[in-house]
Amino acid sequence: MIAITASTLFTPLERIEQPLLLMDNGSIVEVTSQARREIPKNARLVDFADGILAPGFIDLHIHGGAGHDVMEAGDGALPPVERLLASHGVSSYFPTTVTAPLDATLSALGRLADAIDAAERDPQPLENGKPRARPLGIHLEGPFISHKRRGVHPPENLLTPSPAAFDRFWQAARGHIRVLTIAPELPGALEVITLAASRGVCVSLGHSNADLDEARAGFAAGARHATHTFNAMRPLDHRDPGILGEVLTDPQLSAEIIADGIHVDPVIVQLFLKAKGPEAAVLITDATAATGMPDGRYHLGSLEVEVKDGKCMVGDSLAGSVLTMDRAVRNIVQFAQWELQQAVRLATLNPARVAGIKDAGAIEAGTPADLVLLSPGGEVRKIIIRGAAI
């Protein structure tokens, strides 16, 4: 058994000063404080001094990093992405596709399903003593999206939604699709939303030109989340509130945001947080292969992306980001003057709930020991995944 002490622990709903966390065989056994419980005599003590323990971060929407895209062929793409994620506090993630030729998408889904199955068989992935983030499910972003709000998704590869088309992706992914981004205004979209939701998929509205009624129809059919809010959506208008009007005013809907200060101005991040609150806001990175790399040219699916001064561009359009999750958490503290504990929730418990993952995003007895050690300023000092690398 291992006993871990630190200055503070965020569950994240509860803040515990001078915590005592007991861990055994990669799982959390007990979470308490040093004032309430003596350290067991048979336990190995690990003291993190003035550090803050929090759940490992979860990224619902990420395309790559460390020079690699999650849709790349071969076995060499995901390990460097996962090492980079772990170094920024991410313990689990949802590799996210981008619209591509059908065969390429089906092949990528199969490879990602293999990686998820492998992670389930080997719950403590270590490489030269360093942990790697674990893929928990797939986020299918495209091809059921709006031509008008497609962003950089190739128009020739967009598809009209249909249950048959979705089922083909579902079979290729062997049921590992956990998040689906779709534009509700497209013909056939409501049927796909209903089907996906019935299979436990979190259906997210995005890359959409939906008006208010079309958005409400999508949510009524089973959607419950919004993809990178404000980006690739019909703009908010005081006489035509569109999809944003519903996303920002319905407290039952969760919504994600890219808090890099580039995709959304910090003032709008504040507005978003006031609308969604700490219960329904979710941080994502939308990170591309360029994350953690110098300026240059990289790939997003089949697209070539140019990165300069922190911006990922295809022509004049933004194409993902180079944001890391620890930076996003710190940006929330800076942009909105939130407490670190509140910001951490947006990268842990909230994305876990959105994806329907019950044993991630919180520090509690009986769950895997996915932990990140932060400095008082929110910098990552250490990552522990399924108890590994302690």
Q: Is 122 a catalytic residue?
A: no
Torsion angles phi and psi, residue 281, rounded to 5: -85, 140
DSSP E strands in 7-89: the ranges are 8-10, 15-17, 19-24, 27-33, 44-47, 52-55, 57-62, 64-65, 68-69
Among the listed residues 69, 250, 260, 286, the single catalytic one is 286
Strand bridging mode 27-33 / 52-55: unpaired
Contact 97, 107 (CB under 8 A): no
Tokens at 24, concatenated: 């055994």
Tokens at 349, concatenated: 């418990």
Torsion angles phi and psi, residue 152, rounded to 5: -100, 5
84 vs 379: CA distance, rounded Å: 15
Residues 6 or more apart in contact with residue 88 via CB below 8 angstroms: 57, 324, 325, 326, 327, 380
Contact 65, 287 (CB under 8 A): yes
| Positions marked active-site | 286
